[in-house]
Structure 1
Amino acid sequence: MGEQPIFSTRAHVFQIDPSTKKNWVPTSKHAVTVSYFFDSTRHVYRIISLEGSKAIINSTISPNMTFTKTSQKFGQWADSRANTVYGLGFSSESHLVKFAEKFAEFKEAARLAKEKSHEKTELTSTSSQGAGVRGNMAPVKRGKKKDSAPGETLQAPLTPETVNGTNEDRVSPETQHVETRAEPPQSVLPFSHSSPSVSKHWEAELAALKGNNAKLTAALLESTANVKQWKQQLAAYQEEAERLHKRVTELECVSGQTTAIKSQKTELNKTIEELELALKDKEEELERLKTEVESTNVFHCQKDSLIQKLQDTEDRNQALEAQLSELEQRLESTQIEREAFRKSLRSLLQLLDTKIFELTELRDTLAKLNENS
């Protein structure tokens, strides 16, 4: 059924600078999908990577290719047909090792397929020579078919001296970029001398809404990225469906309504039905994402309303704080006045006690004078 993906991974893609043959030039802005494809019609393996609708890697694996690991997360290989050297920067060493293992496996498979092709070619040539007049025909040259371009020298792996910097510097800074979105800082509005029940209630609701908003934003970004990938897959599915329809028509015209053609048509129809079901699932997923976006907008509106309420509460708290400060000043002045009044009262009491004591002495003196007289 044509070319099918058999292994996929994600990596940052680079090509060697054609002018200097030393520096790496990034061909992808971020990590993209890199896949191995097998063409069952021609029995060839290819490495293909797309960024949008642009093919940034289209390399056919040949038996004389070599994949070289130049660091823990970076590997490269030379393609003489494309006259360039490709480099891949992976997020981890395990991804690099897995990709290298698949490269060696498919390289060996390509070598076996090429040998079988040579054997078939030699058998065909031998039978053709036996059927014709051997005296008038030149002998067939047997040997390996050279399919490499003049730029085969690019196939040699780049040494650390040919690439600028150390092993860690070979990978562009873009390969080390982690595509994450930082959540906005959740600032907490200050509440001093405020009502605990009101401020804590609105603060808790705001924190919960901010958390939900951050989660929905992250989910929305991830869903948007998935939607782009799904659109590409849907376009590929549609192209595959059209190709399958054309293939069914060709088979019906060439071979007629035979049992084999009918079975192939049944399989193709099943494949088309599966693709249509996948398309329907993707459309339902898009509808679900739209609903989530609408709910996110509702949360944004609620967030703005709560922020306004918190601002109003803060304003009321500031007014209450001003009134409290004024009352404290008045209380302090009242206390000072009462303390002064108490001091005055004490002094009057002391003076009164002194006068009473003097009057008592005077009375006693007068009483004694009265008794003596």
Structure 2
Amino acid sequence: MGEQPIFSTRAHVFQIDPNTKKNWVPTSKHAVTVSYFYDSTRNVYRIISLDGSKAIINSTITPNMTFTKTSQKFGQWADSRANTVYGLGFSSEHHLSKFAEKFQEFKEAARLAKEKSQEKMELTSTPSQESAGGDIQSPLMPESINGTDDERVMPEVTQNSEPRAEPPQNALPFTHSSTISKHWEAELATLKGNNAKLTAALLESTANVKQWKQQLAAYQEEAERLHKRVTELECMSSQANTVHTHKTELNQTIQELESTLKKKEEEIERLKQEINSARELQAQRDSLTHKLQVDYISNTLISENELEIHHWQIPVKSNMLSMGREIENRNKDLEDQLSDLEQRLEKSQNEEEAFRNNLKTLLEILDGKIFELTELRDNLAKLIECS
């Protein structure tokens, strides 16, 4: 499987100043990803963080390490192999506590792995010690443990074992030496097989590290892109607040215009009623004028004698003439009123038409703003789904 990330978080990375050993030196300009990695082949836990293509943290967790919380959002640990002290600044106390819990968990796992490794080494070395128990001074023991040039050294040791000044009672028989030689040859073959396996595992781990670096670079690019997208959407969100305020103002303006339009329509209805009344008066005036003309013509046909005979009718005629003048004056006033009402009606109709055009323009603007808000909402929904 190789080395795989098992926990990740974001933090600002620091290292202790190598000169003063007191001040912190930031190794990243902004918060970067800090991850725990587990190598199943070597059973090792590491803390790794990259800033671009540069590794700013590469610390192997050992049982003697300790992660210390120095504040609510800052923690540190010392790495003797790297000869430095790492510090991490988190955005919240929760992230710091989570990182510290994982550190303690993986530290305990590293301790257990080390104990199991030691037990395996002890079990592996036990048969070798028992087989070599008959020859305490045998020179094969150090060479087999180190695992270097066993095949070439062992025959020389067997041949040179006779000249040694060994007591006769401790000298090994030839058959026993042959058995020991075969045993160490088997041990050598086992060590070579383990060495080949470790070499293959190392090559696989190196390939996995390269692949992981490529994936990490791709993830960082994706994170930067998403960060820029979030910034853009935040700007769009601020614009959306402005658009919402503008929309509220437009709604208020539309309500005011609708109220004004309603008043104008009521005034137009009243003017129409007044025009109808004026037209009725105009009809009455025409009827009276026609009647007066007929009476006047009939009266002019009366002769002077009839006027003398009917001199008592003169006051009646004069009254009719004065009534005709009064009607004419009233007719003129009604014509003036009718003309004024027609002008007012035309003016009101023009104002209503202009108002309707303005209202139509405002509605078009409002539709555009609503479309922009809908598009912004869709973008925010997509961002939430992606994250």
* TM-score, structure 1 as length reference: 0.42
Larger Rg: 2
> Whose helix fraction is larger, Structure 1's or Structure 2's?
2
Report 1 or 2 for greater relative contact order, CA contacts < 8 Å, sequence distance ≥ 6: 1
* TM-score, structure 2 as length reference: 0.41
